[in-house]
């Protein structure tokens, strides 16, 4: 669990504002909390009604520690989700610019009849969010991070459409880093996540198999492992990293 013990004067993300999708569970929740710990104001985006109470608890936690925080429920399959999320984030945080965007929300396994939903949430929603955010970025030091998966590089039965969606997201990362980087003063990277132990993650063949792979510590990853990488990419120390795919999987897969 992240904590808020650092002195405000030492916080690297102070005065920056972030949008984190899928912010109330697992990896996204830890990313949002870690960004807040480092000083950022955070707009939490969640999808399910079941996540509302968690979102409100996080808002209370972050604001108690002196951060601006808001929560917005959004249908990421909607063609208007990008504009709606950015508008509500700006209003909810009371800011004029957003410097950080973490595209974390995703779905994996769904019935074959709704594979289009995977593409809408995992690919189209990040596209719409970026397009909506561009006019509202800061004057410098803007950062976009896509959360991808090693599934885009490996062969996991039952994850074909999910893997394809993540491969598309990685291609967008590389292309838009070059296309948008100079004009909008931003870096654009992706983190490729390996099997991760989260409270709501069901066991699967992929996760079970990964337990025997050569990870650095012979274990599954944790949300904190991944949030630490995202935190680094969100800070000044990563200013010369752009258009890269960063593996954060303990060595399960080498890029």
What's the mean per-residue pLDDT of the chain? 89
Residue 153: the pLDDT is 76
SS3 45: strand
Q: Of 177, 27, 44, 42, which is closest to residue 98 (Cα–Cα)?
A: 42
Residue 205: the pLDDT is 47
Residue 184 has pLDDT above 90, yes or no: yes
**CB atoms closer than 10 angstroms to residue 92:** 17
Q: Which two tokens stand for residue 165?
A: 């969606």
Whole-number Cα distances in Å, 31 to 1, 121, 147, 213? 11, 19, 11, 25
SS3 159: coil
Cα distance from N-terminal residue to C-terminal residue, the chain: 29
The widest CA-to-CA distance across the chain, in whole angstroms, is 52
Which of 83-92, 157-166, 180-189, 198-207 shows the lowest per-residue confidence on average (mean pLDDT)? 198-207
Residue 61: the pLDDT is 97
Residue 3: the pLDDT is 72
Cβ–Cβ < 8 Å for 242, 187? yes
Residue 86 has pLDDT above 60, yes or no: yes
Question: 175 or 204: which carries more pLDDT confidence?
Answer: 175
Residues in Cβ contact with 223 at an 8 Å cutoff, skipping those fewer than 6 apart: 26, 27, 29, 30, 31, 196, 198
The pLDDT confidence band at residue 206, using thresholds 50, 70 and 90, is very low
Residue 6: the pLDDT is 67
Residues 95-154 pLDDT 10s: 999 999 999 998 876 666 578 899 999 999 999 999 999 999 999 999 999 999 887 777
Cβ–Cβ < 8 Å for 45, 30? no
Q: What is the number of alpha carbons within 13 Å of residue 127 lying toward its C-beta? A: 17
Phi, psi of 55 (to 5 degrees): -60, -45
Residues 50-69 pLDDT 10s: 999 999 999 999 999 999 99
Residue 109: the pLDDT is 65
In 69-170, the DSSP E strands lie at 69-73, 100-103, 142-149
Residues 155-182 pLDDT 10s: 776 678 888 999 999 999 999 999 999 9
46-65 exposure pattern, b = at least 16 Cβ within 10 A, e = fewer? bbeeebeebbeebbeebeee
Residue 211 has pLDDT above 80, yes or no: no
Catalytic residues: 148-149, 162, 166
Q: What percent of the chain has pLDDT over 70?
A: 85
Question: 4 or 239: which carries more pLDDT confidence?
Answer: 239
Residue 213: the pLDDT is 58
The residues with which 144 forms a beta bridge, in sequence order, are: 101, 188
pTM across the whole model:
0.90
Report the run of H or E that residue 52 belongs to, with start and end: helix 52-64
């Amino acid at each position: 669990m992240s904590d808020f013990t650092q002195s405000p004067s030492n916080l690297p993300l102070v005065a920056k504002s972030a949008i984190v999708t899928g912010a109330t569970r697992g990896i996204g929740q830890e990313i949002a909390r870690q960004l807040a710990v480092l000083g950022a104001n955070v707009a939490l985006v969640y999808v399910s009604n079941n996540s509302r109470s968690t979102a409100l608890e996080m808002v209370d936690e972050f604001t108690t520690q002196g951060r601006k925080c808001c929560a917005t429920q959004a249908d990421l399959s909607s063609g208007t989700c990008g504009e709606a999320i950015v508008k509500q984030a700006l209003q909810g945080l009371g800011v004029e610019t957003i410097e950080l965007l973490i595209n974390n929300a995703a779905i994996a396994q769904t019935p074959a009849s709704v594979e289009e939903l995977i593409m809408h949430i995992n690919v189209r929603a990040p596209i719409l969010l970026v397009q909506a955010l561009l006019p509202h970025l800061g004057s410098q030091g803007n950062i976009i991070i896509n959360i991808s998966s090693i599934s885009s590089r490996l062969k996991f039965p039952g994850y074909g459409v999910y893997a394809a969606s993540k491969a598309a997201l990685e291609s967008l990362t590389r292309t838009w880093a070059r296309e948008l980087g100079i004009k909008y003063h931003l870096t654009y990277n992706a983190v490729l996540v390996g099997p991760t132990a989260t409270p709501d993650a069901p066991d699967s063949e992929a996760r079970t198999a990964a337990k025997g792979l050569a990870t650095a510590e012979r274990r599954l990853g944790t949300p904190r492992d991944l949030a630490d990488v995202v935190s680094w990419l969100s800070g000044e120390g990563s200013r010369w990293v752009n258009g890269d795919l960063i593996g954060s999987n303990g060595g399960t897969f080498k890029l």
